Amino acid sequence: MSTETLEFKTEVNQLLDLVIHSLYSHKEVFLRELISNASDAIDKRRYESLVNTELIRSSEDGKIMITADKVNGTLTISDNGIGMTRQEIVKELGTIARSGTTEFLKSLKDRDIKDNPELIGQFGVGFYSAFMVADKVTVISKSALAKDDTAIKWQSEAKGDFTIEDTQKPAIGTDVILHMKKEEENFIDEWEIKTLVKKYSDYIAHPIVMEVEREKDSSLDKSKKVKVKEEEVLNSMKAIWLKDKTEINEGEYNEFYKHISHDFSDPLKVIHYKAEGTSEFTSLLYIPSMLPFDIYFDKFKTGTALYVKRVKIMDNCEELLPKYLRFIRGVVDSSDLPLNVSRELLQNNRQVDIINKNLTKKVLDTLGDMKQKEADKYEEFFKTFGKVLKEGVHFDFNRREAIADLLLFKSINTDKDKFIYINDYIDNFKEGQEEVYYITSTSVAEALSSPYIETFRDKGYDVLIMLDDFDDIIFNNFEYKGKKFKSVVKGDIRLDNKEEADKKKETTQKYKKLIDMIKERLIDDVKDVRLSGRLKDSPCCLVSEENALDPAMERLLMTMGKEVPKSKRILELNPDHPLIVAMERVFNDNATSERLNESIKLLYDQAVLLEGGKLKDPAAYTKTVAKLMAASLG
């Protein structure tokens, strides 16, 4: 097949431009990324050889070769891994087939990437880092799965397109040839390469070798020295997770994390754990310091790799940890699972269930320990991953209280820069309080100004402020140690003492006829009208029934295109507010008053606006308000 020129997809061009021109202070990581890709290719071939009977067998072990050519100014990273077919090379090197690409590129443009290189690492596009140091990159690859003996040559100068053609290659695997920029030729230096491999890739499970020149005694004349070329292994190759903790320092843990995650930043916490007994496995897990940008996308891949007896089985094993811990990165190496285990076999597998149970407990225990001993670090963790962790309250019934123990909340009685734990909230219950009150909101400021908390604030009750989209689904009717969570915007609220309750009964009787009339006028809009136990300064508010969806949740689901059953709210009135008092007076004077009718409509519209809803007829509302203003000024 002749040479074919193809254009990069738009998003690749944008990404290349950002990488080449913005990551100038992190150029050395290109070698880490390319070695990591080579290691992954060897792992894939090793695994395929176990499960694919059609795969061309190889008698040689995996090896990554680095070749520095100072004469031609090239640096080559070669592997004998799985290789790529023509279709794979176009797909892998010419497009970015990932969900959230647009959002990712926007986040790169919105932030100064020079100070946030971890964003590139998060996206897993390390191959393109080669263009930071090379003005041309050539890739020659021969696939172990190809039907013929043809290899593929891919080449680009990162100017918007790439060429692809058939070629010959004696062995299966991939060569990545960097034609170095003049100012970056220091990366061809032997000492520089050794230093970078030791720093970034020492724990790669396969030998990273380079041909070096040494002086040796001549076999013909022992008094003379001759120069010979030999292959030197540059990395230790010992799996870090199998080492004893005492043999590993913080820097080594951090570099291994960067290798497996392609992240630029250090992890927030390291969890190195070995299990013995009914199930034997070793795990090295990390809590990242940065939230993956695509963690809320359906296709987000969990970061835990599964090994069996040091053989990588799969990169993203969803069965090892629950979904609400999907931010965890790391490796798990089992001694009990078979080498040819498949995703299907992993499901409902007893050994995998044991691993999952052990790891989940270990992670939650680690978080609990952080909460107790490293409060500032835990707060940093929760600000980043709390929204994800919180999902466990809803999905993990057996551990929901243990997860709730780890949650931090804002509340109306805590300082704006402080958080409160649920245990502390319960310790501060008012006398006779039996429920945990909460309000959903888009911000603390909005919650603090909400009419729904007026009586709570007046009587000194605390209310938790829930700021995440799905909080109401998670906490509606949730029970923690026998204490039920209750939304302040739903159901009836009764904070009155006996004297106040008796007075409310009298007031209800006093306003009964007015309430019945308002109910009749608003029959198409509200389910009921009643006096409120939650209002102090505002005239009215709309509330949902006890088990109904939160209004904000309803609106969110509707914006997502979900069908939400239409439900009528309950209109609550504050009998002590001057407006309600005045309406009652007008009603007693003239129950058919036009002014009273207008006031009822305005009252309902006010309540709609207060709960964040949309008016049916904004023009009519504005017209009536303007008319009343004019009358008042007149």
Residues 206-234 have pLDDT tens digits of 999 999 887 777 766 767 777 888 899 99
pLDDT above 70 covers what percent of the chain?
91
pLDDT category of residue 603 using cuts at 50, 70 and 90: very high
Query: Same structural domain for residues 468 and 528?
Result: no
Spatial separation of the C-alpha atoms in residues 321 and 572, rounded to whole Å: 46
- Quick one: average pLDDT of 466-480? 91
Query: Same structural domain for residues 279 and 353?
Result: yes
- Quick one: average pLDDT of 156-185? 94
| Mean model confidence pLDDT for the chain | 87
What CATH number is attached to the domain comprising 446? 3.40.50.11260
What CATH number is attached to the domain comprising 161? 3.30.565.10
Predicted confidence at residue 114, as pLDDT, reads 52
Q: Is the pLDDT of residue 250 over 80?
A: yes
Q: Is the pLDDT of residue 102 over 80?
A: no
Spatial separation of the C-alpha atoms in residues 147 and 166, rounded to whole Å: 14
Task: Strands of 124-268 (E only): list them.
Answer: 134-142, 151-156, 161-167, 173-180, 208-217, 225-233
Query: Same structural domain for residues 172 and 24?
Result: yes
Query: Same structural domain for residues 55 and 113?
Result: yes
Spatial separation of the C-alpha atoms in residues 410 and 467, rounded to whole Å: 9
Domain range spanning residue 342? 240-375
Is position 86 within any domain? Answer: yes
Is position 559 within any domain? Answer: no
Q: Which of 233, 265, 295 is the last residue of a domain?
A: 233
Predicted confidence at residue 624, as pLDDT, reads 87
3-state SS of 459-522? HCCCCEEECCCCHHHHHCCCEECCEEEEECCECCCCCCCHHHHHHHHHHHHHCHHHHHHHHHHC
Is position 560 within any domain? Answer: no
Residues 356-411 have pLDDT tens digits of 999 999 999 999 999 999 999 999 999 999 999 999 999 999 999 999 999 999 99
Query: Same structural domain for residues 10 and 139?
Result: yes
Is position 84 within any domain? Answer: yes
The pair of three-digit structure tokens given for residue 431, joined into one six-digit string: 């006398």
What CATH number is attached to the domain comprising 577? 1.20.120.790
Spatial separation of the C-alpha atoms in residues 76 and 99, rounded to whole Å: 31
pLDDT category of residue 94 using cuts at 50, 70 and 90: confident
**Sequence-distant (≥ 6) Cβ neighbours of residue 238 within 8 angstroms:** 203
Q: Which of 233, 266, 294 is the last residue of a domain?
A: 233
Query: Same structural domain for residues 229 and 251?
Result: no
Is position 357 within any domain? Answer: yes
For 308-324, letters b (16+ CB in 10 Å) and e give: beeebbbbebbbbbbeb
Query: Same structural domain for residues 223 and 255?
Result: no
36-50, 344-358, 521-535, 556-570: range with lowest mean pLDDT:
556-570
- Quick one: average pLDDT of 446-465? 94
Q: Which residue has the higher pLDDT, 117 or 390?
A: 390
Spatial separation of the C-alpha atoms in residues 363 and 285, rounded to whole Å: 9
Is position 363 within any domain? Answer: yes
- Quick one: average pLDDT of 584-594? 91
Is position 517 within any domain? Answer: yes
Query: Same structural domain for residues 228 and 245?
Result: no
Query: Same structural domain for residues 423 and 448?
Result: yes
- Quick one: average pLDDT of 559-574? 84
Best CA proximity match to 500, nearest among 463, 536, 467: 536
Which residue is it, tokens 């022992």?
222
215-218: list long-range contacts, CB under 8 Å, 24+ apart.
none
Q: Which of 192, 208, 233 is the last residue of a domain?
A: 233
Query: Same structural domain for residues 206 and 262?
Result: no
Sheet holding 74-79, edge to edge: 4-7, 161-167, 151-156, 134-142, 173-180, 74-79, 64-69, 208-217, 225-233
pLDDT category of residue 99 using cuts at 50, 70 and 90: very low
Spatial separation of the C-alpha atoms in residues 164 and 35, rounded to whole Å: 23
Predicted confidence at residue 338, as pLDDT, reads 79
Q: How many domains does the chain have?
A: 4
Query: Same structural domain for residues 158 and 76?
Result: yes
Global pTM reads 0.76
pLDDT category of residue 444 using cuts at 50, 70 and 90: very high
Count of CB atoms situated within 10 Å of the CB of 208: 26
Predicted confidence at residue 98, as pLDDT, reads 52
Query: Same structural domain for residues 511 and 483?
Result: no
Is position 27 within any domain? Answer: yes
Three-state SS at 351: helix
What CATH number is attached to the domain comprising 313? 3.30.230.80
Residues 321-334 have pLDDT tens digits of 999 999 999 999 99
